[in-house]
């Protein structure tokens, strides 16, 4: 019987453990196309909202985070997409920066890349833009007269429009000001199967708490943790620019 020295055994064990740890979280089953409303986002993050349409926040697999931090973002690989990304997927806190896209690629794109259809930066970002334009959330809301306004909407009014149009259940998220008798529409998620067909989103009331370090990282990347599922019984404010 071949006998292995202890250092060799430790290396083999570490390699096996690494394989297990890095492969399991990558097995995602759902993609979440996330849109945020700039006026609401910037009211939370204290930025200047000069965009009056729903912007793309990200394309997120339901499992896995930072799956390959060594796979660095390279904007030269998506040069043909940059003009569309600047308009459709802007960094609302730093409009001239690419750090938001870098953050989204490392955190979510490297996990989505476990699928052959998304296994490059160009495939990931171009598919996100394609789904964003096909969903046309901004156009759908306007078509059914859900527009930014000083008046309030009922949650069910917004939910029914989206469910009837897409044929699936989106996740509609709001900001909940303290001691207010209304909630502010902020983020809408539309979900897809791995083959990019529409899928019901889970609508869970609870939001996993973030550590101080995670909160700081999110803020530096231009994202927010203030959104949570809207309350069905509270009027919804859809703020104009």
Which H or E element spans position 34?
Answer: strand 31-36
- Nearest 5°: the CA angle 157, 163, 165 is 100
Q: Helices (DSSP H) in the chain: which residue ranges?
A: 6-23, 38-45, 82-88, 99-104, 110-112, 121-135, 137-143, 155-166, 212-220
User: Is 108 assigned a catalytic role?
Assistant: yes
* pLDDT, tens digit (0-9, with 9 covering 90-100), for 125-174: 999 999 999 999 999 999 999 999 999 999 999 999 999 999 999 999 99
pLDDT at 223: 40
Flag whether 45 is in a domain.
no
Judge whether 36 counts as a catalytic residue.
Answer: no
Would you say residue 198 lies in a domain? Answer: yes
Residue partners of 229: CB distance under 8 A and separation at least 6: 171, 172, 173, 174, 203, 204, 205, 207
Of the residues 5, 35, 45, 57, only one is catalytic, namely 57
72 counts as catalytic: no
Asked, for residue 138, whether it belongs to a domain, the answer is yes
What CATH number corresponds to the domain at position 106? 3.90.730.10
Query: Is 239 part of a structural domain of the chain?
Result: no
Tell me which residue range forms the domain holding 155.
31-36+51-171+188-202
Domain annotation covers residue 96: yes
Q: Within a domain: residue 98?
A: yes
Task: Pick the catalytic residue from 35, 36, 104, 226.
Answer: 104
Number of domains in the chain: 1
pTM here? 0.81
Convert the pLDDT of each residue in 112-125 to its tens digit. Answer: 999 999 999 999 99
Residue 36 neighbours by CB distance under 10 Å: 24
Q: pLDDT tens track of the chain, all 241 residues?
A: 445 455 444 444 444 334 333 444 447 999 999 999 999 999 999 898 899 999 999 999 999 999 999 999 999 999 999 999 999 999 999 998 999 999 999 999 999 999 999 999 999 999 999 999 999 999 999 999 999 999 999 999 999 999 999 999 999 999 999 999 999 999 999 999 999 999 999 844 333 333 334 433 433 433 445 899 999 999 999 999 8
Beta bridge partners of 198: 192
- Is 217 part of a structural domain of the chain? no
Question: Which is the catalytic residue, given 72, 79, 86, 108?
Answer: 108
Residue 22 lies in a domain: no
């Amino acid at each position: 019987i071949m006998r292995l020295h202890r250092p060799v055994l430790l290396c083999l064990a570490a390699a096996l453990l690494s394989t297990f740890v890095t492969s399991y979280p990558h097995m995602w089953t759902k993609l979440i196309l996330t849109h945020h409303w700039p006026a609401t986002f910037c009211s939370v993050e204290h930025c200047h909202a000069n965009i009056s349409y729903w912007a793309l926040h990200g394309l997120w697999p339901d499992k896995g985070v930072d799956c390959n931090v060594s796979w660095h973002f390279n904007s030269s690989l998506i040069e043909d997409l940059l003009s569309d990304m600047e308009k459709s997927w802007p960094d609302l806190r730093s409009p001239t920066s690419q750090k938001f896209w870098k953050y989204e690629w490392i955190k979510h794109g490297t996990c989505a890349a476990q699928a052959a259809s998304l296994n490059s930066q160009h495939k990931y970002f171009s598919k996100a833009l394609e789904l964003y334009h096909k969903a046309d959330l901004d156009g759908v809301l306007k078509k059914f007269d859900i527009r930014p306004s000083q008046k309030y909407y009922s949650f069910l009014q917004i939910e029914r429009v989206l469910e009837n149009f897409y044929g699936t259940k989106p996740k509609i998220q709001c900001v909940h000001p303290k001691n207010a008798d209304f909630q502010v529409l902020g983020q809408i998620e539309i979900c897809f199967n791995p083959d990019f067909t529409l899928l019901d989103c889970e609508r869970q009331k609870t939001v996993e708490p973030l550590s101080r370090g995670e909160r700081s990282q999110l803020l530096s990347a231009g994202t927010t943790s203030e959104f949570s599922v809207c309350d069905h019984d509270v009027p919804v404010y859809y703020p104009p620019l």
